[in-house]
Each structure stands twice: as structure tokens, then as C-alpha cells.
Amino acid sequence: MAVIWLDGVWGDKNTAKISVYDHGLLYGDGVFEGIRAYSGRVFRLSEHLDRLYDSARSIALEIPIPRERMAALIEEGVGKSGLAEAYIRPLVTRGIGDMGIDPRKCATPTVCIIVDSIKMWAQDRYENGLAMVTAGTPIPHREALCPRIKSLNYLPHALAKIEANNAGADDAIMLDPSGHVCEATGMNVWIVKNGVLKTPPAYAGILLGVTRGVIFELAAAAGLDAREEMLNRYDLYTADEMFLCGTGAEVAPVRVFDGRPIGTGKPGPVTKDLMGRFRTLTRGN
């Protein structure tokens, strides 16, 4: 079952309530994380908390509980949920203020930890691959809001997801204003070309995903060359393989992009190998 910790009180979907004057709701003023637990064990908690607290610090938001307490609450929430595989979302907002935008009016940040489950796509998508399209909505300019901040402001990504839905696709690839590939609506993107793994670098305007880092580790263990490189749609159209990765999505192959089959139009050997390695890492003994 889903459990929720909100400002010191454990509850559920029916009892956890946030004020309509909370600046997280009014202005998207806050940060969050997405974390997984497998067999009751929280996966890469330290890396996720590093990003949560760094994101908060970068927007001058002080999380009112220490990192060690946050970790303990997350572990406690997983235990209370009874979920073998859980999705955890800690989020911190500027707190309750007034109708104005001034953060000084928010006396105390709101802290919430949601422990629930998540399902991005049906199992057949992981077996056969996703259909993707290019979103017309560009990624926000990296100097407007640093993409390394995992903030509550996800409206451009939501609009890109709407474009994918309207096109009958599973998800969308977002570009920067110059046409370079950045990321999907909530996942990092990878391609394989001539046996080399490639993904956009941090300066492309992407969120540095924790699962993205895991892919680098798995690729090294498999003896694969994995590198950061600026990519455009030509690189994706002509790739031998393509996949997405993220906490919610895990590792998901792509079979078609903008109507063009990727490689053979089926999940490729490198992608399938990495999917197996990821499953062993998260669900193995």
C-alpha cells in the first residue's frame, strides 16, 4: 500500500494534505527525487540524496531535516508500505506562503515522502521496444533553469509527453533550441553505433540521471566503450540501437523513432545485455 510522510506525520493518499498556499503548488518552487526499492532494499539512496540536497541548495532552499534523518524516513516508509518493489518520491517545497511570489513569505519548507509503486509502460514495450517521436516543445534553456536541478517545474516535459500521446507514441525526445538531442520526457537517452554507447553530456542541458551513471558502470563491466557526445536526430535515426534509462523506466529499448526503425526495429544485443545486467544488479542476489 502507499504510505506518505508529510511534515512529521505518516498517512496515506486520503489523509496527506498540502495547503493550496504552498509555493510548490503555486509556483513550482521546490525539488524532488525519484528512488526505487527492490526486495525492500533502497537502490542508490546516497546518490539520490546527494542530488536532492544539492538541488535544494542551488535554489537557496534549506531542507529542514538532516540527510541522515531523511534516509531513515525513506527506509522506514519502504518497510511500512510492505511493497517488494517500491517507488519513493521525497519532495521539498518552499512551504506555505501567500499569493505573492516572494520566498521570504514562506516560513517553513514542506517536506513530503511518498512511497508507492510505478509502472511506466506495459511489459511488451520492454520486450519489443518503444515508439518515440520528436517533441516540438524544446528543453528549457540551461541558463534559465539549470537542468541539473530536479525541480518541481516539469511543465515543458509534460507538454512534450502530450505531444507523444497525441502522436500515438510511447514517449518523446526533447531537443535544445539548436536541435541537439537532450533527453526524453523523464529519462536519459542512449544510442549504440558500431558497438559504442553514446549519451548527451551534462552541458547539453540534461538532468544527470542516477540510472545514467549506473549504465556507465554496467558498460565498463561489460567491456563496452561508453562516452558522452553531443547528438542530433541524424545520430538517432542512424543508430544501431537506442534505449532510455531512468529510475521509473529502468532500461527501456526503443524500436522506432519518428517513424524510422532503429537498427532492425527490435531491441539490439547491447541493449538486451545491459537490461539483463541492470536486472541482476537490482533484483539479483
CATH number of the domain within which 254 lies: 3.20.10.10
Residues 17 and 77 in one domain: yes
Residues 109 and 127 in one domain: no
Q: What is the pLDDT of residue 170?
A: 98
Number of folded domains in the chain?
A: 2
CATH number at residue 109: 3.30.470.10
* Cross-strand partners of 87: 36, 116
What gap in Å lies between CA 272 and CA 278, rounded to an integer?
10
If 0-12 CB within 10 Å is exposed, 13-18 middle and 19+ buried, where does residue 216 land?
middle
Residues 80 and 153 in one domain: no
Annotated active-site residue 161? The verdict is no
Residues 153 and 112 in one domain: no
Residues 155 and 262 in one domain: yes
Residues 70 and 182 in one domain: no
What stretches of 63-154 show up as alpha helix (H) in DSSP? 67-81, 123-128
| Contact (CB, 8 A) for 202 and 138 | no
Residues 247 and 106 in one domain: no
Residues 217 and 278 in one domain: yes
* CA–CA distances in Å: residue 73 to residues 60, 82, 116, 183, 242: 23, 15, 14, 31, 37
Residues 198 and 233 in one domain: yes
Sign of the Cα torsion 33, 185, 146, 109 reads negative
* Cross-strand partners of 243: 190, 253
Q: What is the pLDDT of residue 54?
A: 98
- Per-residue confidence of the chain (285 residues) as pLDDT tens digits? 899 999 999 999 999 999 999 999 999 999 999 999 999 999 999 999 999 999 999 999 999 999 999 999 999 999 999 999 999 999 999 999 999 999 999 999 999 999 999 999 999 999 999 999 999 999 988 788 888 999 999 999 999 999 999 999 999 999 999 999 999 999 999 999 999 999 999 989 899 999 999 999 999 999 999 999 999 999 999 999 999 999 999 999 999 999 999 999 999 999 999 999 999 999 986
Strands 130-134 and 250-257: parallel
- Residue finishing a domain among 116, 138, 157: 116
Angle, CA of 82, 121 and 170, to the nearest 5°: 155
SS (H, E, C) 84-102: CEEEEEEEEECCECCCCCC
* Residues of the domain holding 152: 123-283
- Residue finishing a domain among 87, 116, 145: 116
Tally Cβ neighbours within 10 Å of residue 26.
19
What gap in Å lies between CA 231 and CA 266, rounded to an integer?
21
- Residue finishing a domain among 59, 83, 116: 116
The string over 102-131, giving b where at least 16 C-beta atoms fall within 10 Å of a residue's C-beta and e elsewhere, is eeeebeebbbbbbbbeeebeeeebbeebbb
Q: What is the pLDDT of residue 285?
A: 62
What gap in Å lies between CA 256 and CA 1, rounded to an integer?
36
What gap in Å lies between CA 10 and CA 161, rounded to an integer?
32
Of 13, 150, 198, 266, catalytic: 150
Residues 82 and 127 in one domain: no
Residues 136 and 267 in one domain: yes
Residues 105 and 128 in one domain: no
